[in-house]
Structure 1
Amino acid sequence: MAKQLISALTIASNSPDANLNRWATHMLGRLRPFAGTDHYFWGAQQARTRADLERLQIELAQQEHDAHARLNAVSARLDRFKPDNRDTWDFNPVQYAAGLREADITDTPENRVILNNLRNGYLKDEHIKGTRTGMRYHSHINGGSGGILFEYRQQPDGTVTPYVIDVASKRIHGNDYVWKKGPKGPPY
């Protein structure tokens, strides 16, 4: 029994998993001095170590299973993804460019609808038909007196993040927006 445990720990100490390797090496160092001494103490130590080793192996198997499940989910998302079809997108929460936040958009019923449409991929540009990932768009807010510059960004895991690039609280005339971050003028 002791030889089997030491053999299992030796194998585990050569594992590519750094945590298992470190733990098994540590346990081998603790057990070797007791081999051949008090059988009760050796047996108790051996049982604890074997239980810990089995627990770690179960945890590692679960982590490996979870990693495969995440990889399969990413692969499935990427396989069905079409950049110009929002029905193939899995959405992340809306992100805002540095220095911007949702509070920069006036809280009105109309603007809440606009933000909800952005969250769900239904917000479209005022002048362009359709949407696709990786393109910048703008939409009117505040009843048309302001604007929001946004895009839908595909992430490496196949999800899509609605991203607010800039917010204009007003327009001076025509398309001369007063952007919070960017230059004054039409959407950039």
Structure 2
Amino acid sequence: MSDAGPQPVLAPLGDADWPPELADMLSGFAGGLNVYRTMAHHPALLRAWADLRDHIVNHSALGRDDLEVVILRGGHRLQSPYEWSQHIVRARKYGLTDPRIASLRGPLDAMQPGDAILCAAVDELFDGARLHPATLAAVTATFGTHAVFDLMATVGFYSTLGFILNTFGTPLDDDIHAQLVANPLRD
């Protein structure tokens, strides 16, 4: 756990407190991030979460960079420092530049065209729980029908994570904190 912030309301579980029914998940994605170590307080939910997480993170029709655009805009809209910070590092890994990442917090007209389409869709889902016909048409034409579904699933998935992170005060993972201290986001 990082000492970069206040004490969490519900601390991520350490290895010694890991639920025995999730023993097989400790060495995988669930044991690797504080958000899932927090979710491990509800083992049945974390176990059920695994397949959807695998699809969204590893098999999304959006592709890696566009998926990060959606997640970052969602993290910004959720006001989730954990999601925003975690995905700065991941977006950089997939080749997004700092100015491009920073633009995802701002107005749509300051973004690359594809990013603006995706972020408009994220905004509409947050603001009205649906995509307007013109946005649906733009996302479908640019990214495909499967990507529309994956975009909506991603927003829902990361909204749930954001609710957990914000409610329980889950601290940023130490490695991500260290990377951002060493290399802060530059607009």
Q: What TM-score comes out, normalization by structure 1 length?
A: 0.21
Q: What TM-score comes out, normalization by structure 2 length?
A: 0.21
More helix per residue: 2
More strand per residue: 1
